[in-house]
Chains A and B, each alone.
Chain A
Amino acid sequence: MPLAAVTRDPLDLQALARDLATGISGDGAVATFTGLVRNHNQGRTVHFLEYEAYEPLAVRALERIINEALEAWPAIRMGMHHRIGRLEIGEASIIIVAASPHRTHAFAACRYGIERVKQIVPIWKREHFEGGEVWLEGAAADPDDERAKLAAYRIACG
């Protein structure tokens, strides 16, 4: 399966982890991150989310993030899949897997990945909540913003 993907299908963490982690005896750790649709946000009761993407650019942005992580932690292998369309409460919206000789780098790469997704991947969520619906808007996406990149790196390194 591709390392970077945007899909309408349910995400398969086991399959992505298996792809990244099999048969490499130098690996000491596989870290995974799964983002879930939560039933509340900012005091509102959430019924479901609808995700929309600019798909070709979103895939490229995920690839870019993986490459950035590889620059920071050269021994890792990493994959990121984001789901779009209607997602119910409790469903996975994103999965990130990082395999590495050392756990520190695997954890850091996962954290870096999700922080950067929120900064630069052209995906939007529409929240359908009790009494209405709204497009959520976070960061103005600028992949060349080195300060944002550094902020993600600092968070990743704890």
Chain B
Amino acid sequence: MRVTVKLFARLRDLAGSGELVRDVEAPATVHTVWRSLTAEMPALVDYEATMSVAVNAEYARMAAAVHDGDEVAFLPPVSGG
């Protein structure tokens, strides 16, 4: 199945792109997607302890299920305001 990965701020810079399309094997969770991403780009792994995640623009947990066509976002610590 195919998911769209969204990356922001420094995570986007590290990956060199804010949007990637990735194929992962079902059944998958956010964690599955993250593992495949960090296998490809080890520099991202430092963010594992501090980032938040979202599925289809709703906050989610790493254990949340991911389905074909979903948008999975990885969010560094926020700094709005």
Partner-B contacts on A (CB < 8 A): 35, 51-54, 56-58, 60, 82, 93-94, 114, 117-126, 135-144
Contact = CB atoms under 8 A, between A and B. Distances in A.
Given A54-B6, A54-B57, A124 B79 contact: yes
B27 interface: no
Interface stretch (B28-36, B37-45, B69-77): B69-77
B78 A141 contact: yes
A103 to B, nearest CB: 23
Interface residues of B, number: 21
Contact of A94 (B51, B57, B80): B80
Given A94-B80, A117-B80, 20 more contacts: A35-B81, A52-B8, A52-B9, A54-B73, A57-B57, A58-B80, A82-B81, A93-B80, A114-B81, A122-B52, A124-B76, A124-B80, A135-B9, A137-B10, A138-B79, A139-B78, A140-B51, A140-B77, A141-B77, A143-B59
